[in-house]
A and B are shown apart, each in its own frame.
Chain A
Amino acid sequence: MKLITAIIKPFKLEEVRTALTDLGLQGMTVTEVKGYGRQKGHTEIYRGAEYAVSFLPKIKMEIVVPTAQVDKALEAIQRAAKTGQIGDGKIFVSPIEHTVRIRTGESDDNAL
């Protein structure tokens, strides 16, 4: 099992969700986050006072998938979240040791 953590543009959330659902992947956890990468921030001006806004709003999406489906999932996320503009985000993949479904006690791939 792998944990896929994707940082994406907020308005791309629905497209990414649809793309993953179409692969048959169920469930994900989404958090509204702020951050910056190469895109950096921007400045805002209020009555002449300039403020640098370094952290931009993004969506952090976490989804655990069976190892066999990781490549397809990564491709789907990338396809759906890409605009080609700076600030499209990143995807991280990390191993997961163990998974349990609380209601039934099923574990690992069966619990996904």
Chain B
Amino acid sequence: MKYNELKRLAAMGGAASAFLLGSALPTLAQDAAPTLDTGDTAWMLTSTAIVLMMTIPGLALFYGGLVRKKNVLSVLMQCFAACCLLTIIWMVCGYSLAFTEGPYNAYVGGLDKFLLNGMGKESLSGTIPESVFMMFQMTFFIITPALIVGSLVDRMKFSAFLLFMGLWSIVVYAPVCHWVWGGGFLAGDGVLDFAGGTVVHINAGIAGLVACIVLGRRKGYGTDNMAPHNLTLSVIGASLLWVGWFGFNAGSAVGANASAGMAMAVTQIATAAAALAWMFSEWLVHGKPSVLGVISGAVAGLVAITPAAGFVDPKGALVIGVAAGVGCYIMSTGVKKMLGYDDSLDVFGVHGVGGIIGAILTGVFAVESIGGTAGLLEGNFAQVPIQIYGVLATVVWSAVATFVILMLLKLIIGLRVSESSEVEGLDVSLHGESVQ
């Protein structure tokens, strides 16, 4: 919500200073424009750094530990290279498409800030330098496509992977980000998404599901032993994700303020609740509480609290966490097995499902005195349908666009490595390296 206000301000500022197009200081043209706040800026600089840490090394290690040893470097490489590629794309056009006004503003931004044109040293975005806001948002732009890596592992050509990351970030992420945070139609319709339940997690989760279906199962799926090669790496990765997520959620308050504090508190509570919920579910069903279970549950909780972080209180967070832990456990184990798709590292089961649970429950548990909007429990019956509408819009766009991009790439260059490369392992066959 803070975003919406902020971007509305920026948009008004932009309109008022249309005659100054190309000026380094578009938002300062407005009299009421806020001034730089050093506390806010310090927190956002910190948040930006730790959200980057979520992808490298957090997500890279989390995923890297879950694959077989012959593919660990290929996963680290996918995360690291995606980080670099997406940085450049964000600089060239991503930021502009997400956060400027465009001719079709309900759906996508414009190209006014192509190559970050007009972002000077003194440019402000709310109370922080625009450079910091741009960087903070860049780390989201990086982690979202990188999340999809989990459903592509062990079998995708690196060239196809890079093209997919690039195209997906522009065609899917930038518009959806604009819909919710850049002044597009979902924000206008009142969809609540504090830190990226729709934009980041449902978006990546659905893309992961579509991608693993288009790509096909790993060779030997269901018969070969595909057990994680090193859960220690995954525990380190999940823990880095958890810590980094404070930047993600509390940073999404775009300031060092009360909203950030509450976002941090509910993030911690929901995460712990989800981790325990998954652990106990598994203990009950399979007889043993597993390490992979408890860290998967934690990630599911982090995902589910993301849209809700600035809107719910600790009690709401507790319920959201438990729901995410149990829901994602069921989807990532039973349902996946039943339907037979090879969402290798459960991008859909954790991020897609957790995102949907969180987005909808935000409409249930939103507290007016915390985020300015009341939820179902406070008598606002309209919010849950609005949240579902936001979920559906994201699901449809992500699914359709992901499918089209992948089919195009499949036709033009092919998506999968050869069977012999897959058997040999991508580390050696694609990168000429290996972990001994």
Contact = CB atoms under 8 A, between A and B. Distances in A.
A45 interface: yes
B228 A45 contact: no
B225 A47 contact: no
Nearest to B224: A51
A48 B227 contact: no
Contacts of A49: 226-227, 333, 337
Interface in A29-57: 44-49, 51-53
Interface in A50-81: 51-53
Contacts of A45: 286, 288, 290
Nearest to B293: A47
Nearest to A43: B286
Nearest to B349: A47
Contacts of B336: 48
A47 B227 contact: no
A45 B282 CA distance: 10
Contacts of A52: 225
Task: Please tell me the size bucket of the interface on B.
Answer: 10 to 19
Interface in B267-281: none
B288 A47 contact: no
Contact of B332 (A44, A47, A53): A47
A52 B226 CA distance: 11
Interface string B334-346: 1011000000001
A54 to B, nearest CB: 10
Interface string A88-106: 0000000000000000000
Interface residues on A, range: under 10
Nearest to B286: A45
A44 B227 contact: yes
B125 interface: no
B134 interface: no
Contacts of A51: 225-227
B407 to A, nearest CB: 28
Nearest to B278: A47
Nearest to A54: B225
B290 to A, nearest CB: 7
Contacts of A53: 225
A48 B337 CA distance: 8
Nearest to A45: B286
Q: Which residue, of A46, A49, A52, has the highest number of chain B Cβ atoms within 10 A?
A: A46
Contacts of A44: 227
A51 B223 CA distance: 9
A51 B288 CA distance: 15
Interface in A3-47: 44-47
Contacts of B293: 47
B225 A48 contact: no
B296 A47 contact: yes
Interface in B181-239: 225-228
B337 A46 contact: no
Interface in B237-260: none
Contacts of A48: 286, 332-334, 336-337
A49 B68 CA distance: 14
B292 interface: yes
A111 B228 CA distance: 46
A7 B227 CA distance: 26
Contacts of B228: 46
Closest 5 CB pairs of A and B: A48-B333, A51-B225, A51-B227, A45-B286, A47-B332
Interface of A: 44-49, 51-53
Given A45-B286, A48-B332, A53-B225, 12 more contacts: A44-B227, A45-B290, A46-B228, A46-B290, A47-B292, A47-B332, A47-B349, A48-B333, A49-B226, A49-B227, A51-B226, A52-B225
16 contacts: A44-B227, A46-B227, A46-B228, A46-B290, A47-B293, A47-B332, A47-B333, A47-B349, A48-B286, A48-B332, A48-B336, A49-B333, A49-B337, A51-B225, A51-B226, A52-B225
Interface of B: 225-228, 286, 288, 290, 292-293, 296, 332-334, 336-337, 346, 349
